Structure 1
Amino acid sequence: MAEELLTSSGLSQVQPTGGNDRGTLRVDLANGLTIFPVHLKSNINNACSDATDANRALENMAIDVPAKLTTAIAQGFARQVDADKRNAAERERVIAAVKVVADKATAEGRTTIIAGDFNTSLEQGKAGSAFADCNLQPFECKKAPFPAAACVAGDGFDDTFAILTTPPIGASAFALLTQGLGRTYKDTAFADAAIDHMAVPAGDQADFKAPTLGCNAGVDLAQTDWAAKACQLHGSDHFAVVTTYDP
């Protein structure tokens, strides 16, 4: 085994690393497949969590909740916006750096796949297609699909998928095997869209196909042409996503 510094430093349009970001492993299989597993930065907004926790604590103590706190939770606030943008930037940095090393494996003749918990979905207004981010506005602090109207005058603020598929970073465009797959996280309060994804170089997409899972018959958005989601959680808080590699 060897260790290599994974970095997006110096990559155009990607914010420089301000500390330690998450990494990946390179797993080379005998059949020519190379897997890069990822677990990108959580989309949890700590600023909103702090506000709602403070509100709950005051209510539990039968203390009047300040009007400013109630308004902040209902309408959002500047620190909440900063937290959302910072989370997106951390995901962008890591996926850009992973794509660089995945491109190296592809250049060696390997079939590469980047897969794991991306902690973000292809929601309208949130997922950008270029680096011209919108002017993100505050919005209500609650578990819910992202309100597209909060993204004003520009492209979405989270360019995680654009970095893979356009690509503004690296040598090749990747395709999402999971694009169009339904919710993969157990909590139904969020958008009905996958946050667990698999991406392969666009030219290799035909080498993957969705396996037959009988439970998926008649279930909305339970599979794409290339991937399927498991029928049960099996003790996890995510549904597993499955594909078959058949070159």
Structure 2
Amino acid sequence: MRSLLTLIPAAWLLLALNPALADGLRLMTWNVEGGKQPPRVVAERVAQALAEVGAIDVLVLQEVVAEEQVRAAAEAGGFAHWAMSDFSPPMRITDAWWKSLEVAILSRVPIESAAEWDLTGRKPTGDGYPPRSSDAGVPSLELRVDIDTGDPAPSRGFLRADLATGLTVYAVHWKSSRGENCTADDRENARRREVHAAGLAADAVGVLEAGRSVIVAGDFNIQAPGRVLRVGTDPGEDCAPTDGTCEGLCGAGGLDGYDDSIAILLGVDDTARLLSGDLDSTYVLRHFPGGAIDHILVAGPDADAFFGSWTPPVHGQRWQGSDHRPVIAQYMQHWCAPIDEGLIRPQRPAPTGRQAAACDRHGNR
């Protein structure tokens, strides 16, 4: 373990190289819809996105299929470091982009290690290929998580990057539900999302015990608890609705849904917060009741240093070429500071209560 004396100079060097980090860190998650696109187009989308939302320190991407796309996006956005999952066979084998989907984490902050939990491939525990990284010296690990994945096991898994700031970022792209409610197919999809969440939660416990803070970001493909009836709030309740309806749900007042995936993540620690729970729809082609299906969740000692999240406005059926809008969050230091009207962001109230206390604790400037 590194001593405090070695950590302090490294932190000062990091801030010198990245002045924006002295006032916090901005993170964006975005389903870039890059499955059918060449690297040049993915790079253009990332450049256009950052031109609209402002500087981003950590970018979490979903629906990339090739390392060349991630390299091009990193160069276009000025990200010196990146890690990419290796869940799926390449398109030269699948001949179908939706069977080759990956996630990636791009960062201006050095990545200390990259790891993934892979549920695809030749073995139930994964295909044995670790994640790819921009830095040859960064450890790249294939994780084993001791949970029951069920039969069939869901596709993909999660990608994890440990940043030099003490944050651990998880990138996810969970099973799609296509907006169906309470059908047998969607109950199976919900089971797969719950497996994803349980695996990530099991891994995150060790990360939190090590004193790090956790950010889970990506396309969850489900709304926040409490926003629609099928989304559960109590993992201890195993709801079984009648086919084709949402009747027969359980819990207090019969209002607890059958998809407990996000509730499982929120149970990982009492500091866990879903920042995106109140956002409007992030899927552009169809307005799902209940709001966003792309989310950012935080937990750990720095969880209260984040002040909600926001998503940029969209006009038409695409945002910078994608069928999803991004979700952006940032450290409290940014939100405690006076608003920079030059940045495109929603008007927000002055922090109160928990946020005000965090402003005082982290530096109200």
| DSSP-derived class of the 1:180 partner | coil
* Residue deviations 1:158-190 (CA, integer Å, cap 9, x gap): 00121022x2xx455521011111111102342
Give 2:217's aligned amino acid: A
For residues 68-101 of structure 1, the C-alpha deviation after alignment (integer angstroms, 9 at most, x for no partner) is xxxxxxxx9xxx8221111000000011111121
Of 246, 249, 265, the residue aligned with 1:164 is 265
Within-5 A mapping of 1:49-60: none
How has the CA–CA distance of structure 1 residues 88 and 242 changed in structure 2, closer, same or farther, with 3 Å as cutoff? same
Secondary structure of the structure 1 residue equivalent to 2:206? helix
Please, which runs of 5 or more residues in structure 2 have no aligned partner?
1-138, 251-255, 334-361
Out of 90, 93, 96, the residue aligned to residue 195 of structure 2 is 93
Q: Give the structure 2 partner of residue 3 of structure 1.
A: 141
- Structure 1 residue matching 2:257: 3-state secondary structure: coil
Residue in 1 that maps onto 2:243: 138
**Which of 289, 298, 315 is 1:200 aligned to?**
298
Q: CA deviation at 1:8?
A: 5.6
1:125 aligned residue (225, 229, 232): 229
Q: One-letter code of the match for 1:129?
A: T
Identity %: 33
The alignment covers a number of residue pairs equal to 183
1:40 positional shift: 0.4
More displaced 10-residue stretch of structure 1: 32-41 or 195-204: 195-204
Deviation at 1:136, TM superposition (A): 1.6
One of 154, 160, 164 as aligned partner of 1:30: 164
Ranges in structure 1 where 5+ consecutive residues have no aligned partner: 49-75, 140-148, 210-225
From 246, 249, 258, the counterpart of 1:150: 246
Q: Give RMSD over aligned pairs.
A: 2.5
Secondary structure of 1:238's aligned partner: coil
CA–CA separation in structure 1 for the residues paired with 2:171 and 2:301: 20
Letter of the 1:207 counterpart: A
TM-score, normalised by the number of residues in structure 1: 0.66
| SS at structure 1 position matched to 2:158 | coil
Change in 2 beyond 3 A, CA 1:207/1:171: closer
Q: Secondary structure at the match of 1:26?
A: strand
What is the 5 A alignment of 1:171-190?
A: 172=270, 174-190=272-288
SS, match of residue 183 in structure 2: helix
Deviations 1:120-144 (A, max 9, x none): 00333211112323332233xxxxx
Deviation of the 1:17 alpha carbon:
5.0
Given the alignment, which residue of 318, 322, 338 partners 1:236? 322
How far apart, in 1, do the equivalents of 2:184 and 2:166 lie? 42
Amino acid at match of 2:177: N
The alpha-carbon distance between structure 1 residues 203 and 151, as it changes in their structure 2 partners (threshold 3 A), is farther
The offset of 1:204, in angstroms, is: 3.3
